[in-house]
Amino acid sequence: MKEKKIKLYNMAFPIWLLWLIPITWFIILPVNFFIDLLVVVLTMKYLKIKNIKTLVKPAILRIWIFGFIADMIGTVLMIIPCLIQFDYNSQIGMWWYHNLSNAIMYNPFESVYAFTWVTVSLIISAYCIYYFNSKFCLKKVELSLIQKKKIALSLAVFTSPYAFYLPTAMFF
C-alpha cells in the first residue's frame, strides 16, 4: 500500500507574503493609502460635498490605519483553520486539510467550505471597515451622519480584502 504524501502550501500569498517578504510593505502601504484616499474623495464628490480636502485631511490617516486593522482581523479568522490540528492520517484530518486549511491558504475555490470560510472572513473584515470608519475615523469630520455612513459603506465595499480569494497557485 502506497503512502500518501501531503504537501503543505500554507505558507503562501496572500496572507503570508507580507511576513515572508517584508519589502512588500513598502508597496502595499502607499498603494493602500492611495486607494483609501481615492475612495473617500470619489465618494465625497458623488455626494456633492464641498471642501473635500479640508474634510479628508483629519480622517485619512485613521481610515488607513483602521483599514489595516480590519484586514488583520479577517486574516486572523482565515488562519484559524490552519491552527486547528488533527491527525492528518485520520479521515477527519484529511477532510480538514483538503477542504479547509489547505484550500483556504492555497485556493479557496477548491472547496465550498473554504470558499464559505473566506467569504465569512471577508464579510467580517468589511463590517469592521464600516464600523471603524463610521464610529471612529469619521467622528471628527463635519458631515451629517448619513454622509458619514455612506462614506463608511463605500470604504467597506471598495477596500475590503478581496485578495483573500486569490489562489496561491497563480503565484507559484
Q: Peptide bond preceding 167: is omega within 30 degrees of 0, i.e. cis?
A: no
Determine, yes or no, domain membership for 167: no
Number of domains composing the chain: 1
> What percentage of the chain has pLDDT greater than the value 70?
85
Q: What is the pLDDT of residues 42-85, one digit of tens each?
A: 999 999 999 999 999 999 999 999 999 999 999 899 889 888 88
pLDDT-derived band at 21, boundaries 50, 70, 90: low
**pTM surpassing 0.75?**
yes
Determine, yes or no, domain membership for 51: yes
Determine, yes or no, domain membership for 16: no
State yes or no: pLDDT of 8 exceeds 90: no
Determine, yes or no, domain membership for 99: yes
Q: Which of 58-67, 81-90, 136-145 has the lowest mean pLDDT?
A: 81-90
